[in-house]
Amino acid sequence: MYNFRTDLALERRDLYRKAQGLDNEIEGIETQEEEQTDKIKTSRVKVLNEKGAEAIGKPVGDYTTIDIQKLKVATEDNIQEAAEVLAKELRALLDKHIDKKDEILVVGLGNQYVTPDSLGPKVINDIDVTRHILEYMPQLLSPDTRAVSAISPGVLGTTGIETLEILKGIVDNIHPKLLIVIDALASRSIERISSTIQIADTGITPGAGVGNKRKNLSMATLGIPVVALGIPTVVEAATIAADSLDLLIR
């Protein structure tokens, strides 16, 4: 299989087409693009069958990529617009798999002590968890509040335990209906660093984009739907060098 060195389905699709010299779409893949605002574009890659899955190395399912231009110098209004687009896409995926009040578990993957891998643990600190409040003080919340719990399980190198093993134990004990897994991703473009979001309902294989695959987190391994949300924070040094030379030439 082609060595993509990226977690983004959209980039894998583009790289495969370029490598194979294809002008048309890959068999087993569908792609749609939508301009949300003048700065936000949404691309949807659907892997329809095993042929498409084999081509780009991603399981059958839906992959949504939200590209946000000039996010690094965005205003508060720009950030709010991006948040609303993300919320809309995430809500649609949740509604596809679970009911409005079904319990979810939010998982922040990564190593909090390594900057490009610390996205997941940092996001967990800002999650509004409600499971314990609904259990002990339900009168403080509105009746339609969803039970939300959150965990940052660390990484194999510091815990000695596979992430799948930790999450399997939690799922078997608290019985959430769905997992939202947040992780840092690898990309093939400097422009996508911290300005692209990928959402998928096919689960995630931690470390796949940088050649350090861990055990897969998915419906097949955990028994419940797994929605993966990631932002690229890693690019190969060779890509940085090539992009820098291209900029210099231009």
In a domain, 4, yes or no: no
C-beta of residue 108 within 8 angstroms of C-beta of residue 123: yes
In a domain, 1, yes or no: no
Cβ neighbours for 89, distance < 8 A, ≥ 6 positions apart:
42, 64, 66, 199
Strands 104-108 and 61-68: unpaired
pLDDT at 209: 47
CA end-to-end span of the chain: 33
In a domain, 142, yes or no: yes
C-beta of residue 106 within 8 angstroms of C-beta of residue 180: yes
Q: Output the CA torsion 28→53→232→240 (10° steps).
A: -90
Report CA-CA distances (Å) from 139 to 142, 143, 146, 240.
Answer: 7, 8, 14, 53
The CA radius of gyration of the chain, in Å to the nearest whole number, is 19
Whichever domain contains 85, its CATH number is: 3.40.50.1450
Q: Output the CA torsion 95→97→101→106 (10° steps).
A: -100
pLDDT at 200: 95
Q: What is the 3-state secondary structure (H, E, C) of 82-111?
A: HHHHHHHHHHHHHHHHCCCCCCEEEEECCC
pLDDT at 75: 84
Number of domains in the chain: 1
In a domain, 68, yes or no: yes
Supply φ then ψ for residue 106, to 5 degrees: -100, 130
The span from the CA of 43 to the CA of 51, in Å, is: 21
The span from the CA of 113 to the CA of 152, in Å, is: 13
Average pLDDT along the chain, 250 residues, taken 10 residues at a time: 80 91 93 90 95 93 91 83 94 93 96 92 95 95 95 92 94 97 92 92 74 78 96 87 84
In a domain, 129, yes or no: yes
At 246, is the secondary structure helix, strand, or coil? Answer: helix
Structure token pair of residue 164: 């799948």
Q: Which domain holds residue 132?
A: 9-249
In a domain, 2, yes or no: no
pLDDT at 108: 96
